[in-house]
C-alpha cells in the first residue's frame, strides 16, 4: 500500500454506469493512477478503458496489482465479484453500493466508497461535486479510503451501512421516482397532445432550480394540492380513467402534498 503522499494506484472492477464514471474520474485525478478496468463484458471493458485511457481485462486471474480495487457493480453482484477478484497483498478493496455492507467483500482490508449521484453511460459528471460516503473495516483503512475520497471529491462523509441505506432511500425518492414522473408526464403529453418532451423542460428546470435554491423544497411547492383544490384533483383523476396505477399515484401524491403543506 502506497504512503498517503505517494501516487495511489487503482483498479476499477465493473463496466456499468458507475464504473465508467468512477474510472474516468480516477483517470483524470491528480495523485491517482488508473491501472486497469476489469469486467466480464469484454465489449464494455474496452469501451470504458478507452474512455479512461487505461488497460483492461476480462480475466479475473489477470488483474493488475494496485493499492485500491474499486468494485462498481450491481448490489447483488458485489459479493460474487469480490470472491473472484485476485488482488495485491496489502491492498484495499471497496465497493460503491449504497445498500450493501462492506462485509460483502469478505475478510481483510475493505470498505465502501459510495458516490451519491445518478450516472448515465456517456454522460460526464463533475466528480468533485459528487458527495462520497465512506466506511472502512478498521480506522486505518478508513483513513486511507478518506484520503482517496478527498482526492476525488470536495464532499466526503463517513457513513455506516445503516446511514447509507437511509441516504440511498432519499436518492431513490429524489431521483429515480421523480424521473419516473417525468417519464409519465412525457408519455401522456405525447400520446394525448402530440407534443414533444421539450415542452416540459422549462418547467422541470425551474422546479429544480427553485428546490435547490430554497431553504427547503416544501417552501416552494405549488399546485392544486397546496391550495386544497379537490375539484381540480378529482378532474385529473377522472382523466386517468383506465389507468388505475396512475390514479393511485396521483391520489397518494396529492394527499401527501396537501398534508405536508399544512405543517
Q: 32 and 140 share a domain?
A: yes
Dihedrals phi, psi of 174, to nearest 5 degrees? -80, -20
Confidence of residue 4 (pLDDT cuts 50, 70, 90): low
Do residue 170 and residue 149 come from a single domain? Answer: no
**207 in the same domain as 146:** no
Residue 213 has a pLDDT of: 96
C-alpha span between 45 and 63 (Å, rounded): 13
Cα–Cα distances (Å) from 136 to 11, 102, 112, 174, 190, in that order, read 18, 8, 6, 27, 48
98-154 pLDDT tens trace: 999 999 999 899 999 999 999 999 999 999 999 999 999 999 999 999 999 999 999
What is the pTM (predicted TM-score) of this model? 0.91
Q: CA-to-CA distance for 158 and 141, rounded, in angstroms?
A: 12
Which domain does 246 fall in, by range? 165-260
Sign of torsion over alpha carbons 224, 227, 230, 231: negative
CATH number, domain containing residue 84: 3.40.50.720
Long-range contacts, 163-171 (Cβ 8 Å, 24+): 163/133, 164/98, 164/99, 164/112, 164/114, 164/133, 164/135, 165/98, 165/99, 167/98, 167/114, 167/116, 167/133, 168/98, 168/99, 168/114, 171/98, 171/116, 171/118
Q: Is residue 49 part of a domain?
A: yes
| Structural domain ending residue among the three candidates 159, 185, 202 | 159
Please report the pLDDT score of residue 262 as a whole number: 79
Task: Identify whether residues 61 and 177 lie together within a single domain.
Answer: no
In eight-state DSSP terms, residue 75 is: G
Same-domain status, 29 and 147: yes
Q: Is residue 124 part of a domain?
A: yes
Both 16 and 84 in a single domain?
Answer: yes
Q: Which residue intervals of 13-99 are DSSP H helices?
A: 17-27, 42-52, 78-84
Residues 137 and 79 placed together within one structural domain of the fold: yes
What does the pLDDT read at residue 232? 96
Q: Look at residues 159, 188, 218 and tell me which one is the last residue of a structural domain.
A: 159
pLDDT above 70: percentage of residues in the chain: 98
Which CATH number fits the domain that encloses residue 229? Answer: 1.10.1040.20
d(CA 149, CA 263): 38
Whether 214 and 108 share a structural domain: no
Does residue 83 have a pLDDT over 90? Answer: yes
Same domain, 16 and 90: yes
Helix (H, G, I), strand (E, B) or coil at 40: coil
14 and 113 in one domain?
yes
Looking at the fold, whether 170 and 200 belong to one and the same domain comes out as yes
Answer yes or no: do 219 and 199 share one domain: yes
H or E element in which residue 71 lies: strand 68-71
Domain termination residue (choose one: 112, 144, 159): 159
Q: What is the pLDDT of residues 183-197, one digit of tens each?
A: 999 999 999 999 999
Q: How confident is the model at residue 263 (pLDDT cuts 50, 70, 90)?
A: low
State the total domains in the chain: 2
**32 occurs within a structural domain:** yes
Amino acid at each position: 500500500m502506497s504512503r498517503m503522499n505517494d501516487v495511489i494506484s487503482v483498479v476499477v472492477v465493473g463496466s456499468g454506469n458507475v464504473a465508467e464514471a468512477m474510472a474516468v474520474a480516477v483517470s483524470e485525478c491528480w495523485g491517482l493512477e488508473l491501472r486497469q478496468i476489469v469486467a466480464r463484458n469484454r465489449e464494455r471493458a474496452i469501451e470504458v478503458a478507452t474512455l479512461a485511457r487505461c488497460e483492461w481485462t476480462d480475466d479475473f486471474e489477470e488483474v493488475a496489482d494496485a493499492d485500491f480495487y474499486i468494485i462498481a457493480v450491481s448490489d447483488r453482484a458485489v459479493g460474487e465479484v469480490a470472491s473472484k477478484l485476485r488482488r495485491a497483498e496489502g491492498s484495499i478493496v471497496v465497493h460503491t453500493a449504497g445498500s450493501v455492507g462492506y462485509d460483502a467483500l469478505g475478510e481483510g482490508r475493505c470498505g465502501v466508497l459510495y458516490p451519491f449521484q445518478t450516472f448515465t453511460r456517456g454522460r460526464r459528471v463533475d466528480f468533485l461535486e459528487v458527495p462520497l460516503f465512506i466506511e472502512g473495516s478498521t480506522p486505518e483503512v478508513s483513513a486511507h479510503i478518506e484520503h482517496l475520497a478527498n482526492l476525488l471529491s470536495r464532499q466526503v462523509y463517513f457513513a455506516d451501512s445503516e446511514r447509507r441505506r437511509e441516504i440511498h432511500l432519499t436518492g431513490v425518492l429524489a431521483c429515480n421516482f421523480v424521473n419516473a414522473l417525468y417519464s409519465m408526464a412525457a408519455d401522456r403529453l405525447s400520446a394525448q397532445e402530440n407534443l414533444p418532451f421539450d415542452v416540459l423542460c422549462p418547467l422541470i428546470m425551474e422546479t429544480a432550480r427553485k428546490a435547490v435554491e430554497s431553504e427547503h423544497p416544501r417552501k416552494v411547492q405549488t399546485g392544486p394540492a397546496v391550495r386544497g383544490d379537490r375539484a381540480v384533483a378529482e378532474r385529473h383523476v377522472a382523466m386517468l380513467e383506465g389507468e388505475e396505477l396512475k390514479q393511485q399515484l396521483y391520489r397518494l401524491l396529492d394527499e401527501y402534498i396537501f398534508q405536508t403543506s399544512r405543517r
